[in-house]
């Protein structure tokens, strides 16, 4: 696949043009990350840290908080645009759980993004693709990003 990622020296017009590709990123996720996110967010649901409980309720293992996955994937947006406040709207559908085994490795979240459309002179829609273990874990992940 041709790498269309726009280099940082590119003009704003090039960086924000429809079809421009955001720098992709991969994020490892471990149990420790989920525990830290539980503490910071206040979401202590057992399915996000307790393997015994997760299996009891029919999950393969502990799964990441959907909101953690959304937040981590959002870094591709904020790293690209620089100012986190430029992300005016952000939507995701939680389509598949991100399973995080306690095996010393954990999971890997892979995130790509591209400018999907221009909404007005100052805003673009960015479409993200977010996968783990070869499956799309977030559906219709889209953001409205202010570009000037």
Residues that bind another protein (CB under 8 A): 27, 33, 36-37, 39-43, 47, 57-59, 63, 66-68, 70-72, 74-75, 77-79, 82-85, 87-97, 139-140
- Of 4 and 36, which has the nearer Cβ to another protein? 36
Q: Which residues does 125 contact at the CB level (< 8 Å), separation at least 6?
A: 115, 116, 117, 118, 119, 142, 143, 144, 145
Cβ closest to another protein, residue 21 vs residue 59: 59
Considering the complex, state which of residue 22 and residue 92 has its C-beta at the smaller distance from another protein. 92
Burial 75-99 (b: 16+ CB within 10 A, else e): ebbbebbeeeebbeebebebebbbb
Could you tell me the smallest distance in angstroms from the CB atom of residue 50 to another protein?
14
4 vs 26, beta carbon nearer another protein: 26
CB of residue 106 vs another protein: minimum separation in angstroms?
A: 13
Q: How far is the CB of 29 from another protein (least distance, A)?
A: 9
Other residues' Cβ atoms within 10 Å of the Cβ of residue 130: 25
* Terminal alpha carbon distance of the chain: 30
CB of 20 to another protein, least distance (A): 20
Within a 10 A sphere around the Cβ of 21, how many other Cβ atoms?
Answer: 16
């Amino acid at each position: 696949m041709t790498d269309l990622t726009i280099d940082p020296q590119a003009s704003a017009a090039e960086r924000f043009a429809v079809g421009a590709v955001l720098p992709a990123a991969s994020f490892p996720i471990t149990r420790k990350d989920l525990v830290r996110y539980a503490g910071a967010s206040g979401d202590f649901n057992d399915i996000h840290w307790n393997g015994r409980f997760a299996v009891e309720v029919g999950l393969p293992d502990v799964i990441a908080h959907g909101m953690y996955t959304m937040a981590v994937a959002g870094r591709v947006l904020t790293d690209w645009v620089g100012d986190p406040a430029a992300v005016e709207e952000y939507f995701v559908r939680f389509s598949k759980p991100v399973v995080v085994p306690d095996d010393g490795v954990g999971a890997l979240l892979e995130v790509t993004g591209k400018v999907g459309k221009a909404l007005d002179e100052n805003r673009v829609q960015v479409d993200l693709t977010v996968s783990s273990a070869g499956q799309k874990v977030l559906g219709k992940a889209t953001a409205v990003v202010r570009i000037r």
